[in-house]
Amino acid sequence: MLTFCPTCANLLLIERESAVGTSSSGGGGGVRLRCAACPYAYDVVDGVRQRVKTTRKTVDDVLGGDEAWRNVDKTATTCPRCEHGEAYFMQIQIRSADEPMSVFYKCCECAHQWREG
């Protein structure tokens, strides 16, 4: 975890207290966070914990949403969900150029989408 200095915003470095010579017990097991640019130091007693709330990104439709299906052709294929015999389709190159194109289908009846290839 990266921790930054509250006074100058530089990255805090980890150092053992025995290296500084401030340990009075002689064991020297303590750790502190020290700023290399200013005199700020933080003695770590119970560990360093920082809870950061993350926000989930909104996922865009890879195929372009409903707009991408507006001017596509129909073909005779069976929908795996409703067994309807006709679906819209489009071919997209989603892998490298030496791989075959992927065919995406959308059922004309139930709007279920699936992929082959």
Q: How far apart are CA 52 and CA 12, in angstroms?
A: 18
In this prediction, residue 1 has a pLDDT band, given cuts at 50, 70 and 90, of low
Q: What is the pLDDT of residue 23?
A: 44
Give the SS3 label for residue 89.
strand
- 43-101 pLDDT, tens digit per residue, is 888 776 778 889 988 877 766 777 888 889 999 999 999 999 999 999 988 888 898 99
Q: What is the pLDDT of residue 28?
A: 55
Claim to verify: residue 73 and residue 41 sit in the same structural domain: no
Instruction: Write out the binding residues.
Output: 5, 8, 35, 38, 79, 82, 107, 110
Instruction: Write out the binding residues for Zn(2+).
Output: 5, 8, 35, 38, 79, 82, 107, 110
Backbone angles phi, psi at 93, to 5 degrees: -85, 100
Claim to verify: residue 11 and residue 46 sit in the same structural domain: yes
34, pLDDT greater than 50: yes
Domains: count for the chain: 2
Q: Range of 43's domain?
A: 1-51
Domain boundary among 51, 73, 90: 51
In this prediction, residue 29 has a pLDDT band, given cuts at 50, 70 and 90, of low
Q: Are 34 and 19 in contact (CB under 8 A)?
A: no
- Domain CATH for 12: 2.20.25.10
DSSP code, position 11: B
94 vs 36: which has the higher pLDDT: 36
Claim to verify: residue 40 and residue 73 sit in the same structural domain: no
Domain boundary among 10, 27, 51: 51
Q: How far apart are CA 33 and CA 76, in angstroms?
A: 67
Claim to verify: residue 71 and residue 94 sit in the same structural domain: yes
- 8-25 pLDDT, tens digit per residue, is 999 999 888 665 555 444
